[in-house]
Amino acid sequence: MFPNNPFESVTKTLLNGVGKLSSDDAQGVVKEMVDSLRAWGDLVQTQAQAAQAASMEAVEEIKAVRDPMGAVEAFKTNTQKMLALTTTHLQETMALSIEQFNAGVDLLQERHPTPDAFAPMAHGMKKAASALESGVLAVLNTGIEATGAKPAAKKSRTR
């Protein structure tokens, strides 16, 4: 019989699994959650600092302009820089999302009662995520090329 609402189903599943969770498993889950949150926090902080620096640079460049056409050119250049920076940030966000999704799929397969039977499903899920990432990156790159903006330098993310 189906539960009355989705929350009832989730609650029942969680409560049934709690009895099987050892303290080591719980610590592992909490560590994974903290690592995930830390990675997102680091990414947000880095991206906010980059956006702030780009904004300050744009303000300084516009303050130095003395003629209307120079202002238009400065505005155009800074808009392209911000588009490139936004594209880079979206690429970094997508990469972290896919990385964490794949880690979740690996964990799901590891804890599945029959990991070998789940392997094709895990492979399909990862392949779909990769296709989604490729599609989004292609759209972002096409957009950046259409604006004539120079892609921002990629920074490596370490966890």
Q: Is the pLDDT of residue 43 over 60?
A: yes
Alpha carbon distance 103, 122 (integer Å): 11
**Residue 65 within any structural domain of the chain:** yes
**Residue 77 within any structural domain of the chain:** yes
Q: Range with the lowest mean pLDDT among 58-67, 92-101, 125-134, 147-156? A: 147-156
Q: Is the pLDDT of residue 128 over 90?
A: yes
Q: Indicate the pTM of the whole model.
A: 0.72
**Residue 56 within any structural domain of the chain:** yes
- What is the domain range of residue 127? 29-147
**Residue 36 within any structural domain of the chain:** yes
Q: Range with the lowest mean pLDDT among 41-45, 57-61, 81-85, 154-158? A: 154-158
Averaged pLDDT score across all residues of the chain:
83
Contacts of 133 (CB under 8 A, 6+ apart): 94, 95, 98
**Residue 52 within any structural domain of the chain:** yes
| Domains: count for the chain | 1
